[in-house]
Chains A and B, each alone.
Chain A
Amino acid sequence: MIESYIPIFLIIGVAAIFGVVSVNMSWLLGPQRPYREKQSTYESGVDPVSTAHYRFSVKYYMVALSFIIFDIEVVFMYPWAVRFRELGWPGFVVMLVFVVVLAVGFIYELKKGALRWD
């Protein structure tokens, strides 16, 4: 049973090495001209230090939710696309159902004006 986890450990190792190497490479090779904003924590362009009772735009949620819809869709589509031929018509129908359900959510979002920016 433990042997079947070896690919997972492998991919964790590769991911860790990739992360460490790429971050350090940019630190070693890139030009460094620090200033205050650049060195502060990245918070989607919002000042990271302020009071806790801070109002921010509801658009953040809109974008985040739309992102999740399509992100999840693609995450499920990749493995399906890899095995497309083996899964055949049943696989196609199941994927179609999945996309239709997401499409209903998207139509609802559009019609309610969630993507209208002003």
Chain B
Amino acid sequence: MNQLLTDTLHTAPIMGTIVLALVVILINAMKKDSLALEYWVSLIGIAANIGLAVWAFPLRGSAFAGTVMTGGFASLTAAVFLVAAGLTIILSRAYIEKIGVNFGEFFHLILMGAAGMMTFAAGTDLVVTFVGLELMSICLYALAGISRRVHKSNEAALKYFLLGAFASGFFLYGIALIYGMTGTTNILGIAQNIAAYKSEPLFLVGAGLLLVGFAFKIGAVPFHMWVPDVYEGSPTVVSAFMSTGAKAAAFAALLLVFTATFDFIHSSMNTVLSVLAVASMLVGNIVAISQTNVKRMLAYSSIGHAGYMLIGITAGGDVSMAGVLFYLISYMFTNLGAFGVASIIENAEQQGTDLENFRGLYYRRPLLAVLMGVFMFSLVGIPPLAGFFGKYYIFVAAIENGYTWLTIVGVITSMISVYYYLRVVVLMFFQAPEEAEAPQVTSGGTIALLVSAFGILLVGLFPSIVLGWMGGLF
């Protein structure tokens, strides 16, 4: 009984978020027209859960018979997902009323999705990891299609669901083969005699199938086909949550399983990872140039960013793992902000996120344009914004571990990305104002965007503090 209580307490952020989601859905069931109440309950609950995550940070260890990690890495990632969920909820308050899907279930699904992400990232047993992955994915499938009268949203949900279920199959098959080889699904147990398994074909096939599942969720080439269609079709705030939370969760789990446990440095699996990284960077950044829709452009850019983070996964070692985590935090703020601006620009028919709609934005909504500029510069990686240090740490770690050629590809593709990111900035600031009405900006949306921009600046100006949290996490 005591053990059960301690375990529950140590996994407080996950438990708290699940309870919060249940409370929100109960309010929704019991009370009519309770969107405002659900909104505030969600926000206060998320703030409380972030507090719990901070409180649980020193409690490093594992709970529930070694199946879930507590404290440290789990707390840090939990806080990241909760911040992403909170910002998404603030942004979505006005947005879901604009597009006419103002259901309380929206907040419930976001909260449950965040709980799934935490479980996904904190699971130290492959079965728990899979349960987290599914909880996250099912919420996102429903969220992608929540705008049920819009064709593109339906298409996005169905595409994401079918391909996602397929990828989950690969993931499970990988777990089954690894279990067949090692006799356990606990990654701590596998880590104990990893040296014996590392060259076994069965184990490598299992790890490869697992990697297919992960690569799908992070949207790495060649498993990226769904990314542009799903990000474009889904309601924009959902795309924001998907591209930050889901991607960060998949990367955190990938770090835990592949880099920290399987430790494939200087093996054939590393060649596979580097191929994924190079392909993602090239395809993502080059195809993004020809996009005329900002949501689609951000989708391709997120494929490119998955490539940069895969450099860190390939290089391995403590420095690059900290670098990937740092990148995830900076990318979370940046991409949430960029999608957030797109969600404000968008009209009630879920259209109007073309590049043309950004023309002369500065003359209509100066603050919005300046914020979008900050997000774009952070995505490019201009100091002192967070995006710069994310790339910097990953590239430094890659060079230290002898992957200079990956860094060269990364820098070249970053140069390519400057073109399409700055094109948005040029359109907003230096082009004649279009004869169009200014988009409606609500105070909630402004606050969320300001928090994102502030986060980018803070992480960019004091990178050593953020990096300090990551010392000895693994």
A85-105 contact mask (Cβ, 8 Å, vs B): 1 or 0: 000111001100000010010
Q: Which residue of B lies closest to A109 (CB)?
A: B29
Number of interface residues of B (CB under 8 A): 11
With a cutoff of 8 Å between Cβ atoms, the chain A residues found around residue B26 in the complex are: 104, 107-108
How many angstroms from the CA of A108 to the CA of B29 in the assembled complex? Answer: 5
Determine if B268 is an interface residue (Cβ-Cβ < 8 Å).
no
With a cutoff of 8 Å between Cβ atoms, the chain A residues found around residue B4 in the complex are: 90, 93-94
With a cutoff of 8 Å between Cβ atoms, the chain A residues found around residue B1 in the complex are: 88-90, 93
How many angstroms from the CA of A104 to the CA of B18 in the assembled complex? Answer: 12
Q: Which residue of A lies closest to B22 (CB)?
A: A104
With a cutoff of 8 Å between Cβ atoms, the chain B residues found around residue A111 in the complex are: 29-30
Determine if A53 is an interface residue (Cβ-Cβ < 8 Å).
no
With a cutoff of 8 Å between Cβ atoms, the chain A residues found around residue B25 in the complex are: 104, 108
- Quote the shortest CB–CB distance from A38 to chain B (angstroms): 36
Q: Which residue of B lies closest to A100 (CB)?
A: B22
Determine if A64 is an interface residue (Cβ-Cβ < 8 Å).
no
With a cutoff of 8 Å between Cβ atoms, the chain B residues found around residue A82 in the complex are: none
With a cutoff of 8 Å between Cβ atoms, the chain A residues found around residue B22 in the complex are: 101, 104
Is A107 touching B29 in the complex (CB atoms < 8 A)?
Answer: yes
Q: Which residues, 1 to 60 on B, are CB-close (under 8 Å) to A?
A: 1, 3-4, 18, 22, 25-26, 28-30
Q: Tell me the number of A-to-B contacts counted with CB atoms below 8 Å.
A: 25
Q: Which residue of B lies closest to A1 (CB)?
A: B183
Number of interface residues of A (CB under 8 A): 13
A21-59 contact mask (Cβ, 8 Å, vs B): 1 or 0: 000000000000000000000000000000000000000
Determine if A112 is an interface residue (Cβ-Cβ < 8 Å).
yes
Q: Which residue of A lies closest to B2 (CB)?
A: A90
- Quote the shortest CB–CB distance from B143 to chain A (angstroms): 17
Q: Helix, strand, loop or mixed for chain A's interface?
A: helix
Is A112 touching B3 in the complex (CB atoms < 8 A)?
Answer: no
How many angstroms from the CA of A112 to the CA of B18 in the assembled complex? Answer: 21
Q: Which residue of A lies closest to B26 (CB)?
A: A104
How many angstroms from the CA of A110 to the CA of B30 in the assembled complex? Answer: 10
With a cutoff of 8 Å between Cβ atoms, the chain A residues found around residue B3 in the complex are: 90
With a cutoff of 8 Å between Cβ atoms, the chain B residues found around residue A1 in the complex are: 183
How many angstroms from the CA of A111 to the CA of B30 in the assembled complex? Answer: 7
With a cutoff of 8 Å between Cβ atoms, the chain B residues found around residue A89 in the complex are: 1
- Quote the shortest CB–CB distance from A100 to chain B (angstroms): 8
With a cutoff of 8 Å between Cβ atoms, the chain B residues found around residue A94 in the complex are: 4
- Quote the shortest CB–CB distance from A57 to chain B (angstroms): 18
- Quote the shortest CB–CB distance from B387 to chain A (angstroms): 40
Q: Which residue of A lies closest to B183 (CB)?
A: A1
How many angstroms from the CA of A1 to the CA of B29 in the assembled complex? Answer: 49
Is A108 touching B183 in the complex (CB atoms < 8 A)?
Answer: no
With a cutoff of 8 Å between Cβ atoms, the chain B residues found around residue A110 in the complex are: 29
Q: Which residue of A lies closest to B108 (CB)?
A: A108
How many angstroms from the CA of A110 to the CA of B29 in the assembled complex? Answer: 8
How many angstroms from the CA of A90 to the CA of B8 in the assembled complex? Answer: 12
With a cutoff of 8 Å between Cβ atoms, the chain A residues found around residue B29 in the complex are: 107-108, 110-112
How many angstroms from the CA of A90 to the CA of B64 in the assembled complex? Answer: 12
Residue of A1, A89, A90, A110 most packed against chain B (CB within 10 A): A90
- Quote the shortest CB–CB distance from A107 to chain B (angstroms): 6
How many angstroms from the CA of A94 to the CA of B5 in the assembled complex? Answer: 11
Nearest first, the 5 A-B pairs at minimum CB distance are A111-B29, A108-B29, A90-B4, A104-B22, A90-B1
Could you list 14 examples of A-B contacts with CB < 8 Å? Answer: A1-B183, A89-B1, A90-B1, A90-B4, A101-B18, A101-B22, A104-B22, A104-B25, A107-B29, A108-B25, A108-B26, A108-B28, A111-B30, A112-B29
What 19 additional pairs, Cβ within 8 angstroms, besides A101-B18, A101-B22?
A1-B183, A88-B1, A89-B1, A90-B4, A93-B1, A93-B4, A94-B4, A104-B22, A104-B25, A104-B26, A107-B26, A107-B30, A108-B25, A108-B26, A108-B28, A110-B29, A111-B29, A111-B30, A112-B29
